[in-house]
Amino acid sequence: MALWPFTSTLFLCLIASMASLSDSKAFSFEENFVITGAKENFKASPDGQVWHLYLDQQKGCGFQTKQRYRFGWFSMKLKLVGGDSAGVVTAYYMCSDLDAGLKRDEVDFEFLGNRSGEPYTVQTNVYMGGVGGREMRHMLWFDPTTDFHTYSILWNFHRIVFFVDRVAIRVYSNNGKPNGFFPHEKPMYIFSSIWNADDWATRGGLEKTNWKNSPFVSTYKEFGLDGCQWEDPYPPCVSTTAKHWWDQYEAWMLDDDQLEDFVWVGRNLVIYDYCKDAERYPVLPEECSL
């Protein structure tokens, strides 16, 4: 397993760029986010660079970007709830305007809590026009509660790629034709939240949240993005120049090292794939053939 997938000049430049943005504190919370849910369940470090979301039995908390984006690279470092977190879900995701209601587009990381000593499960999902049901679940190759790890989404017209510590764990492809499975027209906000989901999150709802362990805390830092900010009128957010690295040919596919890691993950860490669930989908969804 290569464990360092970004070997091309393009991605080395990206790493340097994102490090520079982090050092300059270009992505402070106040500049980029608003709190959703109970404001008293949000806390920041004295320097404002580390953010904590709390969940108690009465309420949870979250935040969202002030701006919407169509295509780009979106990244966050998270440290997940430690100990017995069964029933608790921490989410880092993108979603179109909530005013669109059930017609929303969405791209999700959901971290499903566990009983102490059991592995965390990462669920990813994609919605288009309010239709989801495209779940994959992975185990992680580390304990996500003891330190920060980076979770990123690469989104362009060709693919959505979910990265964990710059390892591609899921590739969701577009066929380039009109379809009902690949979100690409609606701009999205970036959200994160923590909430109680013990009706489904841990062993299908068999493990309930133990409120004696509350408050449950998820911690965040170093939000980074390089994306196309939505403006009216409708922006194309695609380019044929190096202006948008995430829309260039090199970003349309995995390089050899990325592919090596991706294959290793697929063989060893995937615990559910809707494209292999023939009982749920006797006729597999169109995108599974991609």
Is 185 an active-site residue? no
Q: How many residues are listed for the chain in this entry?
A: 290
Is 207 an active-site residue? no
Kindly report the number of other CB atoms within 10 A of residue 194's CB atom. 27
Distances (CA, A) of 39 to 63, 85, 129, 216: 10, 22, 30, 15
159: β partners: 173
3-state secondary structure of 73: strand
Kindly report the number of other CB atoms within 10 A of residue 66's CB atom. 10
Determine the Cα–Cα distance for residues 282 and 279; give it in Å rounded to an integer. 6
Q: Residue 60's closest CA among 90, 28, 95? A: 90
Determine the Cα–Cα distance for residues 94 and 155; give it in Å rounded to an integer. 10
**Residue tagged active-site, from 30, 31, 40, 110:** 110
Residue type, 95: C
The dihedrals phi and psi of 206, each to the nearest 5 degrees, come to -75, -30
- Within 8 A by CB and 6+ apart from 2, the residues are 257, 258, 260, 261
Q: Residue 224's closest CA among 15, 27, 34, 66? A: 27
Give 205-225 as a DSSP string: GTSPP-GGGPPEEEEEEEEEE
**Residue tagged active-site, from 30, 31, 40, 106:** 106
Catalytic residues: 106, 110
